[in-house]
Structure 1
């Protein structure tokens, strides 16, 4: 698309970026990509985008029963201090542990090995109480990487290759610097001079920032984080429900602004009317990266499936790099929207639930219950069009008791009460009474 080409070229000029590579992945379209100042297959440092891979490895271990998110890290890693910090808090950057390993890593550019990183925990500060607020920590994610490696019996890089890179076909992503590596630069603020930055091996902090990758690989990865069923339909890497769990906001990164949230290893960026981009930014000396996908489930509209964008730049200061993936997603969705699938008739509601359908009142508000796509659903009569319905699933032992599996009151029960003829005449949802007419909490009907 010419509009996407233009966005990339504008960002490269405005940001004065020596090399810039961008790609958009969609399940319904061929890969779009453009590189300026680099070959299309060139590899860039992706910095903290690496954290999303470590987060997926942690969640895979959780799903396999190797750990619980509320386990203290000391249960799985022999540490001399801070062993009470939980995996959940480390994943969401709410543990309160200091940002970097002990020492001036960014001054010396020498990262500790695993033995030194763990031993130095005795000298590491807990700068905030756990759960107090968001505080970004490379050290915390490094500990998670060491934990996964220990649980799986290999190095973090080996586990990454076996469990993610191989299954998803991310052949352009690597721990070590590849032969296709681009040089990263610091572009002078007051001239057009660009000075090369030194390559940095992040050692035991690698699970937080080590990886190299291509724009095409990262666009596919972004699409996976947004819509895993479209990229990994067999669920070989992670169940969609687990990605959804990772995408739920745990905290906001700025108390006064609420413009960015953080889940379990994923950054959440609201982009307007029920549109949220999930992914991560990354920085290393001479490099910036932005890798984000757009989940369809949050838009309330049939957007593109498997939709992700990645922008990798060889400048450590050009913030245009990290804003560009959001612009590309918006432009691609608006300029080339997904095909409109025709509506087709479906199966009617089962006889047991037909008397549930229609309008009900609860807490003084009107709700509409309906049957779509093989499930009972409910939404407020005044809900905006984009807000998803609540969805119910019958209990295996009593079909008149249903569990809310998505939407409002998720997890709560819906209980049906029938009259002598078997018609549903009253319901209780999350214990609140629902009736066919508007009633007070004492059961008095409102009549005009």
Structure 2
């Protein structure tokens, strides 16, 4: 990056470390799948932390668990609509679905019963389930957003049962190793920061505990570094490294439920937090454990993301810092649009493009370089969707009003496309074309 950009980023980092009184604070920016800038303030022992110093990730752990679950879904081992009972029998909340657990809409209690799980040695799965036999569900499943650490302890066990090995072994083999994240571990290894609480009224520190969380570990156990978390942030932005299908990752980033119900700025997809800020849609997650705060956010539209790690229990505006680092980067060095290049298009597909009409309303059908179709109102206002091919003359809606709906091309006897059938709506080449199967027919007298 330009020296001026790096200075602006470092100044924002330095300001947060000073105002938030962080023992140490590290941050980075990723662009186009690679680490573009990193910086550090404060000390870990007597040394300045660097890109290889481990910090605890807290709930960013959940994003890896969610990825492992979506891999199972893509393999056909489960459906997101499946009730938990089908995969983990014997719980008192077996009716909640996998999707509800991923999106924090299951209604499960936020914390495990008993001692504060983040500061106490964790129980095993049997003990956790036993503790949840009574009053585990606080809200009607599907009713509203209710963040649940317990839900991801459950999903970690789901992953372990399906793979026949502990959840971290699955995450390491299927996600961390393929992405080159060799410094992400359940407990600190090598250079790492000790977690502290900072006294609210004096500049003194109190060491915080970091026990193994047992069955709750999938909710926040992992430790990682700037270098590893940069790879993960890039992954969330679309550089999947073959670990997950791009469409599946986009599904994870799609908002399922909102945290703030006015004009929403924060919500959740499938295991991912979704933020809306100044026209940008950011996806990622925050993390909080005693002695540590963490955050990773990325704008998939531009490929710019930011990540931050600190060894302080509270006081550091970790989420806003990430947002600001992205904003500074985009303002000082805006991402360039992808270079346009011509592509090869099937002549039969090319013949479908152009003007279509839904009733009297003109629409434009276009074919994109990636093989998808787009159907948009000619004036830009109204229902618009992208479509993925699923068979001869059949396309599946990917977003907007027609997400999940089927678009079918209707043809005459000589093979000419004369209408589109989209969820029973008929689009014809001219408004109310009498040659197309317009529901209700077309007045014989025509336009007058």
Shorter-chain TM band? 0.7 to 0.9
- How is 1:27-426 mapped onto 2 (pairs within 5 angstroms)? 27=32, 30-37=35-42, 38-40=48-50, 41-105=52-116, 109-227=120-238, 230-232=239-241, 235=242, 237-273=243-279, 275-296=280-301, 303-304=302-303, 307-347=304-344, 350=347, 352-373=348-369, 374-383=371-380, 390-393=386-389, 395-396=391-392, 401-408=393-400, 409-418=402-411, 423-426=416-419
Q: Shift in Å at residue 391 of structure 1? A: 3.3
The gaps in structure 2 that reach 5 residues or longer are 1-5, 43-47, 433-437
Distance in 1 (alpha carbons) for counterparts of 2:345 and 2:82: 46
Confirm or deny: 8 A CA contact 1:220 1:308 kept in the other structure. Answer: no
Q: What's the C-alpha RMSD, in Å, of the aligned pairs?
A: 2.8
- C-alpha change, 1:143 and 1:344, in structure 2 (3 Å) is closer
**Residues of 2 paired with 1:111 and 1:161: CA distance?**
21
Residue 300 (structure 1) aligns with: none
Residues 404 and 410, structure 1, Cα contact 8 Å, conserved in 2: yes
CA 1:343–1:105: 2 relative to 1, 3 Å:
closer
1:159 to 1:421, Cα distance in 2 relative to 1, 3 A: closer
Aligned residues: 428
Report the CA distance between 1:55 and its aligned residue: 0.9
Residue 151 of structure 1, CA deviation: 1.8
On the 8 A contact 1:359/1:366 being kept in 2, the answer is yes
CA distance in 1, matches of 2:345, 2:173: 45
2: CA distance, partners of 1:150 / 1:423: 52
Provide Cα deviations, 1:140-199, integer angstroms capped at 9, x if missing partner: 110111121122121122222111111111112110122322122222223323322222
> Residues 31, 172 of structure 1: CA spacing in aligned structure 2 closer, same or farther, 3 A cutoff?
farther
Q: Secondary structure at the match of 1:140?
A: helix
Given that residues 279 and 293 in structure 1 are in contact (C-alpha distance below 8 angstroms), is that contact kept between their aligned partners in structure 2?
A: yes
Task: Provide the C-alpha distance between the structure 1 equivalents of 2:92 and 2:413, rounded to a whole number of angstroms.
Answer: 65
CA shift at 1:259, angstroms?
1.5
TM-score by length of structure 1 reads: 0.86
Q: Greater shift after overlay, 207-216 or 58-67?
A: 58-67
Unaligned runs of 5+ in 1: 297-302
- Report the alpha carbon displacement of residue 418 of structure 1 after superposing the two structures with TM: 4.7
Contact 2:258 2:267 in 1 (8 A): yes
Distance in 1 separating the partners of 2:446 and 2:306:
53
Check whether the contact 2:298–2:306 (CA below 8 A) recurs between aligned residues: yes
Match of 1:433 in 2: 426
Segment of structure 1 superposing worse, 335-344 or 66-75: 335-344
Write the deviation string for residues 97-150 of structure 1: whole angstroms up to 9, x where unpaired. Answer: 111111132596232222311222224431111111111111111011112112
Deviation readout 1:276-324 (Å, 9 max, x if unpaired): 111111100121111112212xxxxxx23xx432101112212411211
Work out the CA distance in 2 between the residues paired with 1:426 and 1:77.
48
Contact preservation (8 Å) 2:21, 2:198? yes
Deviation of 1:213 (Å): 0.8
Q: Return the offset for 1:376.
A: 4.1
TM-score norm. by structure 2 comes to 0.86
Question: Which moved further from structure 2: 104-113 or 260-269?
Answer: 104-113
Partners in 2 of 1:28 and 1:141 — Cα distance? 27
Aligned mates of 1:224, 1:207 — CA distance in 2: 19
State the Cα deviation string for residues 225-261 of structure 1 (Å, max 9, x = none).
Answer: 120xx340xx1x2211221222222211122342211
Relative to 1, partners in 2 of residues 1:422 and 1:78: Cα closer, same or farther, differing over 3 Å?
closer
Once the two structures are TM-superposed, the CA of residue 356 in structure 1 deviates from its matched residue by: 3.4
Secondary structure of the corresponding residue to residue 132 of structure 2: helix
